[in-house]
Amino acid sequence: MSTAKISNKAPLEDESTENSTAASSYPILNPNDLNDVRREYLFALPAFIEKPLYDQLLDKRDLVMVRLMLNITVVMLPWALLLFYLRTFPAWLGVGYLVVNYALFLQRFMLTLHFASHRRLFPKGSKLNNFAQYVLAPFFGLPSGAYYFHHVVMHHRENNIFPYDVSSTMTYQRENFLHFCMYWLRYLFAVWVQLPYYLYRRSRFDLLGSCLLGLGAYLCGTYYLYNYWSAQATFWVLVLPYCVSSFLLMFGNFSQHIFINPKDHGNSYNLAYNIINCDMNKLTYNDGYHVVHHVHSTLHWSELPAWFNKNIDRMAKNGSFTFTDIDYVMIGMLTMTGQLHTLASKYYVNIGPKEFHRTPEQVVATMKEWLKPIPVEMGWF
């Protein structure tokens, strides 16, 4: 088992390559994303632990995901169990748990969960596929199983279109922080009802039972642990992470879908943007390629930068935004603080044929247009 490096340079299988331009037609804009240095995990475990899991992987490039989950299992789970074992403890022990978990693992885990939800890591029917969704997710503030239903079943199928995608950003004034707060609070309090209701309205009865079971188990387990075991441990391990993670995750999704073309809001090229050459991509399985991901959601994470280069003409013709050396958080902050010109002049990248290039002033004008709320009928809710 080779564990030295995980390569991004895998064979590319593009399911829709007509009218695409080969990457060599233009200078390579994303060299930092095409190398094979990954930072999604912190350390490898001994081969006798990793090899049985590695042998079962459907795609050996996903060893980095297994390592990250093992990192969390040996570092954070014992700490969480210790807090529950102690029941009462000095506040610094709870603060330390939360800080370490978020600083080292939250971003890495969320994107591990994300890509593992789109593509199974292990053969169909293997219980190992449920480990991140049902065992690890609650320690990061996510009810068991809810992420798959919310993100893969709803968000990607409905493609950020309201009201079917209840996490849609369409109807908000997206440079307004107060509108983001409304968006976050809607998720915080209403997801418990809206997510099962969505599955019901879409007649996904095969998934509705599992969703209700996961949400119910999370609520009942949290209630029991808080009231009958240790309120202090439950607060630090489950309650506070739910509140904090919901804010961070919703800010991330809001920022990823902050620019939407009001004239073509169902177009995957016009409801997100790509980020290239950012250190974030090394921590998050190239998550910056969000247009690419919405166009081809089952494409392996290691192939996203190459697909970007191969289809650069298509993105240019559709007017997709591309930014460099910046992450989603900064894009959201710059937008909400009125610094669109900084975003356009310092971080925006023109791609493809020159006829589709924009000046900073044109970029700002397009951004302002794409930030406006898009009126729709309220429909279900």
Residues near 213 by beta carbon (within 8 Å), at least 6 away in sequence: 145
Length of the chain in residues, anyone? 381
In the predicted model, is pLDDT for residue 94 greater than 60? yes
Summarised one tens digit per residue, pLDDT across range 37-67 is 899 999 999 999 999 999 999 999 999 999 9
**Looking at the predicted structure, is the pLDDT value of residue 323 above 80?**
yes
14: confidence class by pLDDT, cuts 50, 70, 90: very low
User: Does residue 330 belong to any structural domain of this protein?
Assistant: yes
Using only C-alpha atoms, the chain has a radius of gyration, in whole angstroms, of 21
Residue 319 lies in a domain: yes
The residue whose two tokens read 């794409």 is 370
Of the chain, the percentage scoring pLDDT greater than 70 comes to 92
Which range of residues forms the domain containing residue 276?
A: 268-370
Instruction: Check pLDDT > 80 for residue 36.
Output: no
The pLDDT assigned to 47 comes to: 96
Residue 364 falls inside a structural domain: yes
Phi and psi angles of residue 322, each rounded to the nearest 5 degrees, phi first:
-130, 130
Is the residue at 276 inside a domain? yes
Please state, in angstroms and rounded to a whole number, the distance separating the CA atoms of residues 233 and 94: 8
Tell me the mean pLDDT in the region 252-281.
96
Token pair for 171: 């109807």
In a domain, 14, yes or no: no
- Residue 378: the pLDDT is 60
β-pair type (273-276, 321-324): parallel
Residue 222 covered by a domain = no
Averaged confidence pLDDT in the chain:
92
Question: In what helix (H) or strand (E) does residue 322 lie, and over which residues does it extend?
Answer: strand 321-324
Indicate the angle between helix axes 328-336 and 177-201, nearest 10 degrees.
120
The pLDDT assigned to 11 comes to 31
Residue 149 CB coordination number (10 Å): 24
Residue 307 maps to a domain: yes
Whether 378 contacts 163, CB under 8 Å: yes
Tokens representing 193 are 């009802």
- Three-state DSSP at 219 gives helix
Residue 22 has pLDDT above 90, yes or no: no
pLDDT higher than threshold 60 for residue 118:
yes
Residue 361 covered by a domain: yes
SS3 349: coil
Look at residue 68 and tell me whether its pLDDT is greater than 80.
yes
Domain count, the chain: 1
Lowest mean pLDDT among 13-27, 188-202, 308-322: 13-27
- For 116, the 3-state DSSP assignment is helix
Does 377 have pLDDT greater than 80?
A: no
Q: Is 103 exposed, middle or buried (0-12, 13-18, 19+ CB in 10 A)?
A: exposed
Which pLDDT does position 376 carry in this prediction? 80
Phi, psi of 225, deg, nearest 5: -65, -35
pLDDT of residue 35: 83
Q: How far apart are CA 375 and CA 172, in angstroms?
A: 9
Per-residue confidence (pLDDT) for residue 311, from 0 to 100:
95
pLDDT digits (tens, 9 = 90+) for 137-189: 999 999 999 999 999 999 999 999 988 999 999 999 999 999 999 999 999 99
**CA torsion angle 209 212 215 221 (round to 10):** -90
In whole angstroms, what is the distance from residue 249 CA to residue 195 CA?
16
pLDDT band at 379 (very low <50, low <70, confident <90, very high): low
The mean pLDDT of 282-291, rounded to a whole number, is 97
